[in-house]
Structure 1
């Protein structure tokens, strides 16, 4: 094998640069889990994966639908008659029935208050590919996008690595629950102007990853007015649109708001969507670019040849998403289960004095561990995180990896595990906090007698542990390289 220096001479600048962001603590946590994954019986002292934003709470509903609709798959006896038509080449537009079904589903998730045009649906390999595609369409290397903090760590990979786009933080903080303000937007924009950086747009996630909060209509109108005034693009990543908890306010999409903003330049508005979170299907790699700009739609469709969704996947999902009764039941039940799981975790933390940002969406919550820091610094946050990984054996993601401006916040994912694992994770957190408050060191996790009170009982029937799925994250085919894992 050649030396690293030799490899750098042989490989491209893209292959050898550091813009992929894999040196983040966010990905270090994944590597720690991969080395020692928790298993309820085979490895009960392993690391529990709480850094994976994956929705596994409603798989049974999808499995039941598949069993009742075998003809939806070309790999079954009932569906094989369609095999030849689906297996041959399909154009970049995608199957018409798939685009129609996705457009209808997107409208349903947004309360049917807005309709989506199937001819503007552009496919991509997951939201990762969709975000990169939209950046290729909108920006040149060196151009910048504003992004409110805290933000999804892999944006550094998705938007910067191959496209060469800069990400400029719009600083948000806990003084107003991390809400985006017009002043923060103006400050970030002016700072870019002073540095002679060309700002091409603003990218947001709504609902927010990692906050689990939704942007209200006034805030969205502020954002739309801001980008119109500056004549820059607005990219709205809405992949958590259907993860709204039961009883929460309705999700408001930018597609609804732009209809109410006077003289809005629709050519500046773009939506990224996926079925990875709302349906819990990241392995299907269904990403969507939806743009109101004809030029972007045309360009993105040409680029989609580099990351099409398989025609087999399109065929099955077209049938599933066209089943109105199933979609209605799934969205309602998924919302209820997410609300129950979120409540279970956050109330369990409250019992030991740990608070979380008030949230109503997503597959995670934003946990406040600032009282446990030795000092209010990023270094102290990192030291606390290393104890949680090494001793408590929980992979929770530190706020610094999300570019949070305040040390001590952590993202905790709650929907990617079965019920017994939930109780183990809660017990570990409880023991750790008790020991920290008592001035002691965290004890290694071990099998202990459960001591939860009646208020922490599971609020829905525990499902049987399947040993084949208790390894909670998809493992990389390249050891310890989370960059190839599904978007989280």
Structure 2
């Protein structure tokens, strides 16, 4: 009686990535009420500077229409606004984007298109650029949500561009060419390349040469380049973040093929506000995206508050400086204490997470062994981290660990638990006999049959692998 979309699993919740979230939801850590619960380190939230935001809100009560000072604006804000959004909102967001990029580029407020978070922005730009069955090349490892955001309702396919730890996961021209050729051999039309800079899950920034190479590749192939830059303000040490908008100003290129996705979810830590942005240099994309944005507009109340906050440049400067300092301190403490017990992390300088290397704890260099270790971390260590296979990483044993979504005390507890894991290198083997006692609480939905349903392709290689060995990730 329902549609294929309603009865299918295109959203991707039947996966290890979301199972970790469910394990936390069923048994959340609390320092007093549930000290043995699961600590959430699978959610990339930025909670380190809420005191700075709270201080501004207390000093600017008129920014909200739900206060005595701001209630006179209630009627105007509550009434219908057009799809362009409030002029002051678009201006403030464009200015904030400039400051995050070191004032090295300018953004036109008239090219700001609203959407419901980066999730909505990615789907919106996909609808504008590709038809069902077309594909984007996406460097892997990449954010698991892209399998939902880009594919579920649009019919897009993803062709992973395989990158490796041996060169710090650099996106090379040869890797791009190899992925492009695989798509051609499968008779799939490639419409663009999607990159995330700074990277999720790696926490690294792309340098000028890499960005220039990727831009040249897309221009030569006459395909689009979509740049997810939602972690731009999370860079906490050198090298600095370079936007594709800066690179293109120094290149002879077709701007109609370049698009930026942005949001305030990571840089400001406001995911609940659902402020997503599409900034395109293509007039037709801007016009179409603005019409489509009616399906995911940002509320005018939120627009008004954000416009007031981001128009206060003194606040913005203070916030960006504090955020950078606090992220640097958290990153230093976390990676330093892991290093003491022999757990390395990929060298990084951005993001709200680290890419933790537990390859030495695997029984075998396989995805099955990675998932066995992940099971132990969830069920016995009681921490929700994200296995690298969920990010389409080709090398088993890497895990994304979010470090900015908790206070210092909870972080200390998490570190003690991870350090204890490092002292028990045989835990995955011990876990095999205990599986039944926790499997009822944490169902791993990665059987080969369900994987086929999720990915929409035949399973090649290990029947238990959570990610296909096929070069293409197809939409259901």
**TM-score with structure 1 setting the length:** 0.87
Mapped pair 1:194 → 2:185: yes
Residue in structure 2 matched with residue 79 of structure 1 by the alignment: 70
Q: In structure 2, what is the equivalent of residue 458 of structure 1?
A: none
Give matches, 1:219-258, under 5 Å: 219-245=210-236, 247-258=237-248
Equivalent pair of 1:435/1:441 in contact (CA under 8 Å): no
Q: Secondary structure at the match of 1:119?
A: helix
Query: Match for residue 359 of structure 1?
Result: 348
Partner Cα distance (1:18, 1:94) in 2: 34
Structure 2 counterpart of 1:32 = 23
CA distance 1:267–1:13, shift in 2 (3 Å): same
Other structure's SS at 1:77 match? coil
Supply the distance in 1 between the matched residues of 2:192 and 2:319 (Cα, whole angstroms).
35
Structure 1 residues 78 and 51: CA distance shift in structure 2, 3 A: same
Displacement over 4 Å in runs of 4+: 437-442
Q: Is the 8 A contact 2:355 2:398 kept in 1?
A: yes
Q: Distance in 2 between matches of 1:409 and 1:138?
A: 33
Aligned equivalent of 2:435: none
1:276 shift after superposition: 0.3
Q: 2: distance between equivalents of 1:114 and 1:265?
A: 17
Q: Deviations over 1:83-140 (max 9, x none)?
A: 1111100000000000000000000000000000000000000000000000010111
Alignment of 1:419-458 (within 5 A): 419-436=408-425
Q: Residues 88 and 439 from structure 1, CA distance in 2 versus in 1: closer, same or farther, beyond 3 angstroms?
A: closer
> Which of 349, 352, 356 in structure 1 is aligned with 2:338?
349
> In structure 1, the residue corresponding to 2:23 is in which secondary structure?
helix
The alpha-carbon deviation at position 48 of structure 1 amounts to 0.3
Select which of 160, 169, 183 maps to 2:160.
169
1:457 — aligned with what?
none
The alignment of Structure 1 onto Structure 2 pairs a total of residues equal to 431
Find the aligned partners of 1:281 and 1:135 in 2 and give their Cα distance. Answer: 24
Equivalence map 1:277-356=2 (5 Å):
277-356=266-345
Deviation at residue 440 of structure 1 after TM alignment? 8.9
Provide, for residues 222-267 of structure 1, a one-character-per-residue CA deviation record: whole Å limited to 9, x for no partner.
010000000000000000000011x3222100000001112x0100
CA distance in 2, matches of 1:277, 1:438: 34
**Structure 1 residue 267 and structure 2 residue 251: aligned?**
no
Deviations 1:399-442 (A, max 9, x none): 00000000000000000001110000000011111122799958
- Equivalences for 1:104-123 in 2 at 5 Å? 104-123=95-114
C-alpha separation between the residues in 2 aligned to 1:371 and 1:326?
Answer: 45
Q: Determine helix, strand or coil for the equivalent of 1:341.
A: helix
Partner of 2:150: 159
* Contact kept? 2:257, 2:281, Cα under 8 Å: yes
Q: Is the 8 A contact 2:196 2:229 kept in 1?
A: yes
Distance in 2 separating the partners of 1:65 and 1:353: 42
Q: Which residue of 1 aligns with 2:61?
A: 70
Q: Which runs of 5+ in 2 are unaligned?
A: 432-476
Superposed displacement of residue 17, structure 1: 2.3
Query: 1:184-225 CA deviation, whole Å, 9 max, x = no partner?
Result: 000000111111000000001000000000000100000100
Contact kept in structure 2, 1:211 and 1:365, CA below 8 Å: yes
Contact 2:373 2:428 in 1 (8 A): no
- Aligned residues of 2:27 and 2:37 also touching (Cα < 8 A): yes
Provide Cα deviations, 1:267-286, integer angstroms capped at 9, x if missing partner. Answer: 00000000000000000000
